[in-house]
A and B are shown apart, each in its own frame.
Chain A
Amino acid sequence: MISQKLEKVLSKVQKPARYSGGEYNQIIKDKQNVNVRVAFCFPDTYEIGMSNLGLKILYGALNNIDDVWCERVFAPWTDMEHEMRENAIPLYGLESYDSIRDFDIVAFTIGYELSYTNVLNMLDLAGIPLRSADREEDGPLVIAGGACSYNPEPMAEFIDLFVVGEGEDVVVELVDTFKSTDSKKAFLEAASELHGVYVPSLYDQGITYVKKRIVEDLDSAYFPVDSIIPSTSIVHDRSVLELFRGCIRGCKFCMAGYTGNPVRSRSPDLLTKQGIAAISNSGYDELALLSLSTSDYKHLSELCDGLLEWCEPRKVNLSLPSLRADNFSIELMERVQKVRKSGLTFAPEAGSQRLRDYINKNIKEDDLINACRVAFEGGWNSVKLYFMLGLPTETDEDVTAIADLAHTVLQTWRDFTNNKKRGVRITVSTSCFIPKPHTPFQREAQIPIDEYSRRVELLRSSIRAKSITYNWHSPQQGYIEAALSRGDRQLGNVVEAVWKMGARMDSWSDHFSYEKWIAAFDECSTDAEHYASRKRGVDEKLPWEFIQI
């Protein structure tokens, strides 16, 4: 039941539907029959978390176990946090409104280093001591998974147990282990034997390596086709299919590409069935085909045809994010998006062919231009191009080559569009290169903030056309992300210090405070530069070496 105190608060905050639960398909269980209660915590807003496929999979997989009740918890926005603290409302599960302090397991999925402060903030709002060492026997276990587990050290003091790799099988095993052990210590010891589990408190006691977990066969793996349908609009209001995991491309900067392998695909027949079921059960008018690189799915044409046959008469749109810039992909786009045309997005990552070849991003300029030509001829009039600045070996020529490429795309539109009057929108976005663990660039230095800003300015002044818009990511956020990505256990102190200074929602550029982060590094007598902009020697031991991908 919702308390009067909470009702009062919900009448004051923005977007209260984020905090009230009750959506269609949420799972409610009878507490009498539940032995294990899990709080599945997503350290960002409801709108982002509810769009996350990992959350849907794990929520379903856990609730499929009769005596387990898994609920959802998201990071409250700052107005709600303020009201919760003011009115002493502890962080609660959206399904039951019960305080998660009384749950058995509090599980975070952490996909982005800049949400570390939200993890701490959520623990604090729940009334759970931040550090594992300070937590009592009767409090919940705090576990975490997601991409950040590939370098768990910065958060190792706060998290009792990390799941490294794909979680859907491990979480079930963890729950079994939980039921069969009678103390935290016994649980952690038993759990550390499971494949894909890292227990930081046992690290000093002879752990030599932790091997990531994967699901061998996607066709027999659990996939949710009856997910929760939010009653308020979120980032992606759509049903999704997962075509395959892993990626054959091996772009040198890309952690997902290296940690996600080997490639494992779902069969097109199963995907078609899942797609039809997901749309029928949701009432959505969009079905997205997800993977790291959708053009690389062998049966893509066949799958799209099968789905279109069902979707078209029902006015359901197929969307294909993560397409490669080649003719095959564009022709497919034309086939699937006859009515509603979404924008086209390509990620060449570097402007010059030399640098693209160097980072292993095998897109040829001709292919990209051809793809744009086909798209413009087919009536598209907006293209987004994503690049990174600061890649190893990047020169000023590589930077201005981004502008040249954008101008060539614009010229292609002028030459081939059938509707000049409608105009064209070309968006160039750059993020700063972040050397990530487990990639060939893991020992590289990130360029300093000033240098990134200089390159941004160089690129900005090289773009002369009005129809080309240029956006760039904040270099300060990229710098802190780089420091945390390759951090060691010491950085836990920095994360805690900056959280104490009031840092929250750091992934939101208007909430991110560079000054606070730098002050926190100072307070802990260390500096971000040491982590972000220092090239690691070949002999230097890396904090994430013991994680085997």
Chain B
Amino acid sequence: MRYSKTGRAKYISHLDLTATLQRALLRAGIKLKYSEGFNPHPYISVALPLSVGVESICELVDVAIMGESLPDVKAIKLPDGIIITDIYFPSRKINEIKWLEISVKLYYDREVDSELASNIMSVLTQDSIVITKRTKRGTKDIDIIPHIRDVNVECNDCILLSAKISAQEPTLNAVDLLNALCDDFKPLHTDVKRIELYDAKMVKFE
């Protein structure tokens, strides 16, 4: 299933989301496939965990169901802000996702101007930015520049940053980009939104 998670729903955590989706599917009368064993549980797997507070219009979840036919989207009732946009039998694997398009609004406690925008642009288009990332096996220094592309920074009421970042191996977040900014350019508050998923060949992942 492909869905968006915006507005109030952005505060639902990744863990709670699985339970929320499960309940919604059961309410809609959809027969889920359960695991065998002592404590059977359904297969519901949300791709690319989304941080609390981040919006997205390109979320994916794999659900194992009984039977051959696709459930009716309209029958699935979800909390305010989660909207299922498509249901299909997947033909591609989640690990084929490579790029994630994001859009970030940066708010400051001062007026913003195009100079700030171009400064941020130049930071994010340097030859190399090494950051320290926490991984399962401790911390690791990586250069994020090869994992960022199509950066664009504009100035409106706030600074508008868009980019495509590596979604898997390594997994980058908007926060990683913001951390690369020096203190002068660090915003007070940001709104982050995921826009689209692409594979390694920059083909939309569907």
Q: Contact between B53 and A24 (Cβ–Cβ < 8 Å)?
A: no
- Asked if B24 CB lies within 8 Å of chain A CBs, one says yes
- Asked if B140 CB lies within 8 Å of chain A CBs, one says no
- Asked if A427 CB lies within 8 Å of chain B CBs, one says no
Q: Contact between B39 and A229 (Cβ–Cβ < 8 Å)?
A: no
Q: Contact between A24 and B24 (Cβ–Cβ < 8 Å)?
A: yes
Q: Contact between A10 and B53 (Cβ–Cβ < 8 Å)?
A: yes
- The closest CB in chain B to the CB of A9 belongs to B189
Which residues of B lie under 8 Å from residue A249 when comparing CB positions?
none
Q: Which of B7, B11, B24, B53 contacts A283 (CB 8 A)?
A: B24
Q: How far is the CB of A538 from chain B (nearest CB, A)?
A: 55
B 170-191 binary contact with A (CB < 8 Å = 1; else 0)? 0000000000000000001101
Q: Given A8-B189, A283-B22, are A23 and B79 also a contact pair (CB < 8 Å)?
A: yes
B 1-26 binary contact with A (CB < 8 Å = 1; else 0)? 00000011101110111011011111
Chain A contact patch, size range: 20 to 34
Which residues of A lie under 8 Å from residue B188 when comparing CB positions?
8
Q: Contact between B7 and A22 (Cβ–Cβ < 8 Å)?
A: yes
Interface residues in B66-97 by Cβ distance below 8 A to A read 77-81
Most buried by A among B52, B81, B188: B52
Chain B contact patch, size range: 20 to 34
Q: Contact between A231 and B25 (Cβ–Cβ < 8 Å)?
A: no
- The closest CB in chain A to the CB of B191 belongs to A7
Q: Given A23-B79, A26-B80, are A281 and B13 also a contact pair (CB < 8 Å)?
A: no
Q: Contact between B11 and A16 (Cβ–Cβ < 8 Å)?
A: yes
Most buried by B among A22, A233, A282: A22
Which residues of B lie under 8 Å from residue A283 when comparing CB positions?
22-27
Q: How far is the CB of B26 from chain A (nearest CB, A)?
A: 4
Q: Which of B12, B16, B23, B191 contacts A282 (CB 8 A)?
A: B23
- The closest CB in chain B to the CB of A1 belongs to B7
Interface residues in A231-250 by Cβ distance below 8 A to B read 231-233, 237
Task: Report the separation of the CA atoms of residues A339 and B52 in the bound assembly, to the nearest whole angstrom.
Answer: 34
- Asked if B40 CB lies within 8 Å of chain A CBs, one says yes
Q: Which of A11, A22, A280, A282 contacts B8 (CB 8 A)?
A: A22
Q: Contact between B9 and A237 (Cβ–Cβ < 8 Å)?
A: no
Q: Given A8-B189, A17-B16, A280-B27, are A231 and B79 also a contact pair (CB < 8 Å)?
A: yes
Q: How far is the CB of A339 from chain B (nearest CB, A)?
A: 8
- Asked if B34 CB lies within 8 Å of chain A CBs, one says yes
Which residues of A lie under 8 Å from residue B27 when comparing CB positions?
280-283
Q: Given A11-B189, A231-B79, A232-B16, are A20 and B23 also a contact pair (CB < 8 Å)?
A: no
Q: Given A11-B189, A233-B19, are A315 and B9 also a contact pair (CB < 8 Å)?
A: no
Q: How far is the CB of A235 from chain B (nearest CB, A)?
A: 14
Q: How far is the CB of A29 from chain B (nearest CB, A)?
A: 14
Task: Report the separation of the CA atoms of residues A21 and B81 in the bound assembly, to the nearest whole angstrom.
Answer: 11
Q: Contact between B40 and A315 (Cβ–Cβ < 8 Å)?
A: yes
Q: In the complex, given contacts A7-B189, A22-B80, A339-B39, what are 8 additional A-B residue pairs having Cβ atoms less than 8 angstroms apart?
A: A8-B189, A11-B53, A20-B11, A22-B8, A22-B9, A231-B12, A232-B13, A284-B23
Chain B residues proximal to chain A, CB less than 8 Å: 7-9, 11-13, 15-17, 19-20, 22-27, 29, 34, 38-40, 52-53, 77-81, 188-189, 191
Pick the 7 closest A-B CB pairs, nearest first.
A283-B23, A22-B8, A22-B80, A283-B26, A283-B27, A16-B11, A20-B11
